[in-house]
């Protein structure tokens, strides 16, 4: 079963996850935190290929875990990298970072 997200009044995104896939979800989120670091480094190097690859991976993986927002950001990252719109990439990386920071996982 997919994760179910609810936005709380304080802006926290509470994600309800089946306990039996909790380790997978935690690993996924940890990898996305690592991706933010890698994306920032790629921006500094003007490495559009890395941004495009990471965006493509996020586009596919986010929905598999119930994180449609990650997929949506990944899709836009991939497109922005193809045309190397660095300011848009920067904005999307920060959007991804804020999204990940606001997630609180709860198990059912």
CB atoms within 10 A of CB 23: 9
Q: Give 91-106 pLDDT, tens digit per residue.
A: 999 999 999 999 998 8
pTM of the full structure? 0.88
**Which residues contact residue 45 at a Cβ distance below 8 angstroms, ignoring those fewer than 6 apart?**
none
Q: What share of the chain is helix, strand, coil (3-state, %, to 5)?
A: 70, 15, 20
Q: Give 13-59 pLDDT, tens digit per residue.
A: 888 888 888 889 899 999 999 999 999 999 999 999 999 999 999 99
């Amino acid at each position: 079963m997919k994760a179910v997200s609810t936005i709380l009044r304080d802006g926290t995104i509470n994600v309800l996850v089946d306990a039996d896939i909790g380790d997978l979800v935690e690993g996924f989120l940890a990898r996305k935190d690592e991706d933010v670091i890698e994306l920032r480094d790629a921006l500094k190097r003007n490495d559009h290929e890395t941004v495009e690859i990471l965006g493509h991976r996020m586009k596919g993986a986010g929905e598999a875990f119930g994180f449609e927002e990650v997929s949506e950001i990944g899709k836009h990252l991939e497109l922005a990298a193809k045309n190397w719109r660095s300011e848009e990439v920067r904005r999307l990386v920060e959007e991804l970072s804020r999204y990940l920071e606001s997630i609180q996982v709860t198990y059912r």
